Amino acid sequence: MTITAKKALLNYLEFLQSNGFICLDSDPLEALGPASGGGPGAPSAAHARPIVVHSAAKVDASPMTPPRPRNPATTSGSAGAAVPSAPSAVPGPPPAALRRELPQTWGAHLSRAERIQWIGDATARAETCRACQLGAQRNKLVYGDGDPEAKIVFVGEAPGGDENETGIPFVGRAGQLLNKMLNAIGFKRQEVFICNTLKCRPPGNRDPFPSEKAACEHFLTEQFYILRPQILVALGAHAAQYLCRSELPIGKLRGRWHEYRGIAVRATYHPAFLLRNGNFKPQSWDDFRAIHGRYVELNPGDPRPIWTK
């Protein structure tokens, strides 16, 4: 196995293990042998210990294969090797113990081109997913939309009727309101990433079943891995309860910061709810101002004009 393929495989195994999809009996770093590529005196492949993988998935996760290299010129894996490509400039992974403690490094090593490729491959996998009944009932998959290097990711509940027709999240009236709210804190829609906890529409816009959310969870976690945003914004109760790991109502989850695997989370009302209940808009505006404040604090060189009356 080449150095590039080893690094990519290490990163992916680490991601699977940190998300509870697998348990490794051995440190993959040791098992894969030295990252130096095997010069004179380096242990041979025959000395590398096998990686023993146990399924640790607590959900009905369909196989989450990493992206397939599309351009043989940029990858050095053997034919059919299913690992993400990594440029030679990518530094080697830190010690395994350190990596486990640094979830904020997720995806940080990925270039823009690699993120685009991985998103494309994940979308292709989701297109064929039938891990829950919604896969056979949807019209179009709604994987997500936006900047692959977005620092803010908005997470809604599930695609609605308009999304099911277009394959794009938040395109109806609720989406238009979300665009306005983004503009009000100095962002264009294409500067953030927008997705949902479910990638397929529940019929009649019913609430997702817990089994459906569990089946789809790995796609969302994978999106966070690829994007590694600074801020997650949960839109509505379902996304808020998922990201905050809480059963409290949205009214009790909004208005303060939470954390999801080292990423700051702000919960706020779903734009569709605000369309029906305009009197909650001031609270939502408070949440958006807090999101703006956190962004400016984390990115002092990127001031964003905020809308003022």
- Binding span for ligand SF4 by CB under 6 A among 5-13, 34-42, 80-88, 208-216: 208-216
Rg (Cα) of the chain, in Å, rounded?
Answer: 21
Binding residues with ligand SF4: total (CB under 6 A): 14
- Least distance from ligand SF4 to the Cβ atom of residue 200, Å: 3
Nearest Cα neighbor of 252 from 263, 237, 234, 238 is 237
Collect all residues with Cβ–Cβ distance below 8 Å to 156 and sequence separation of at least 6.
169, 170, 194, 195, 196, 197, 235, 236, 239, 270
Min dist. Cβ of residue 86 to ligand SF4 (A): 26
**Identified binder of ligand SF4 from the candidate list 135, 146, 175, 229, rule CB under 6 A:** 135
**Does residue 199 touch ligand SF4 according to CB under 6 A?**
yes
- 198 sits near ligand SF4 (criterion: CB under 6 A): yes
Among positions 62-121, residues that touch ligand SF4 (CB under 6 A) are none
Residue 61 binds to ligand SF4 (criterion: CB under 6 A): no
Residue with smaller CB distance to ligand SF4, 86 or 134: 134
Q: Choose, by CB under 6 A, the member of 131, 174, 182, 265 that binds ligand SF4.
A: 131
Tell the smallest beta-carbon distance from residue 133 to ligand SF4 (Å): 7
Distance CA 63, CA 66 (A): 9
Binding flag, residue 130, ligand SF4 (CB under 6 A): yes
Q: Which residue's Cβ has the minimum distance to ligand SF4?
A: 135
Region from 6-14, 21-29, 68-76, 215-223 binding ligand SF4, contact rule CB under 6 A: 215-223
Position 132 contacts ligand SF4 (CB under 6 A): yes
- Closest separation in Å from C-beta 227 to ligand SF4: 18
**Which position among 13, 155, 216, 265 is part of the footprint of ligand SF4 (CB under 6 A)?**
216
The minimum distance between CB 115 and ligand SF4, in angstroms, equals 20
Residues that bind ligand SF4 (CB under 6 A): 126, 129-132, 134-135, 198-200, 212, 215-216, 219
